[in-house]
Every structure is written in structure tokens, then in C-alpha cells.
Amino acid sequence: MMGKHMSCRAVVIMTPFLLAACGGGGGGGANTEPVDFSTADAAAAALIDQYVDANGNAATGQTRSNSFLQTGTVNYAGAFNGNLGGNGVVGDVTIAVAFGGGDVTGSLRNLQNEASGAYTGSLQASGSLNKDATALEPQMSLTFDGSLGNSSGAQAVTLLLDGNFFAHDGNPEGAVAGPVDGTIGGVLLDDGLFAAED
């Protein structure tokens, strides 16, 4: 199911988190009820492909923002997906970036495994903003570290999101996207990517 970021461009781009309500002033909300895996994965891939390629670098036609004109906190909602031991995984992410202070926080929910189904619970994350990042450094880093439940019991989760900012809907930092590395249940995540929009 994974490794199909390019082919998913043909999917009609719905709001990636079906039936999500978008909050005013930033932060379209992630869905509160998980949809089926294939729908969630296709929507996540369609969102991700707008901003980054399969390696987590800027997609064709995209340039990461360097203006950092934002002030205050901007809320983003999106998704990540990847390959876990040959099976796809997908989940919803929300990210809050304090452009003034440099703090970054986030949440992960509705995680699903293509083979074993939905995980229970959610995770919180903390990270940092790097406005002075070089071309080879991420502008934002966020780490999830905790555990979620599934049919095999508690699963340790450690995920590192390294993101860059891109323009969206008139906001030069209206989206953030990049690679995801880490492990879920002791299994290395491959081809992990995320994207989120304000």
C-alpha cells in the first residue's frame, strides 16, 4: 500500500481528514473518528505529495519558506504515513508552532496499521523551531515518544518529524512537511512522510 505517493496524485483531494471541521485562524481540525485505512492513506498521500517528494525534499514547484513573517502561534492539521514491516501505517497529526518563542508541540491520533488495524490512544509531542536552519537542516523538529495499544498489546512509539515550511493559502508558512523517522512496536518505519496545513 505504501510507496505510492506519486500514484495518489490522481486521487480527488478531499480534506485529508474526512469530515474534519476547519477552525478559524488556523488549524483545520483532525478527524475525531478514524476512516478506513485505504481512504485515510490515499488522503494523506495526496496532501503530502503537494509539498514533498518521496525523500522528504521539496516537491517539484515547491520552495521552502524563509520569510518567517508569522507572529504568535499557528496551528496545523495533517497526516503522516509510511511503511512498517511491509504494511502501511497512517495517522493524523496536529502541530502548534509558536513563531515568537520557538516552541513546537503536537499530537498524533487515529493511527492505523494496514494489517493489524487501528491503534488506541494518542500521543503528545514537543519540539523546536529553527528559523536559522541551513539548506540541509529542518526548520522544525518534533518528537513523539510514548505508547499506543493495538491487537498485540501496548506498542512503544518513537517518531521524529523533521519539517520545512511552505506557502499555503496566502500564508508563507501555511504548511509544514517533511520526513518521519522512528519505530512503532520496535519495527523501523520506512518511507515515513508528513504534511500539515493551517
Global pTM reads 0.84
Q: How confident is the model at residue 33 (pLDDT cuts 50, 70, 90)?
A: low
65, pLDDT greater than 60: yes
Q: Where are the domains of the chain?
A: 7-197
Distance CA 140, CA 164 (A): 6
**Nearby residues of 173 by Cβ (< 8 Å), 6 or more positions away:** 65, 67, 68, 69, 70, 74, 97, 99, 165, 166, 167, 198
Q: Nearest to residue 41, comparing CAs of 4, 94, 84?
A: 4
Let me know the angle formed at the C-alpha of 83 by 179 and 106, rounded to the nearest 5 degrees.
45
pLDDT digits (tens, 9 = 90+) for 107-136: 999 999 999 999 999 999 999 999 999 999
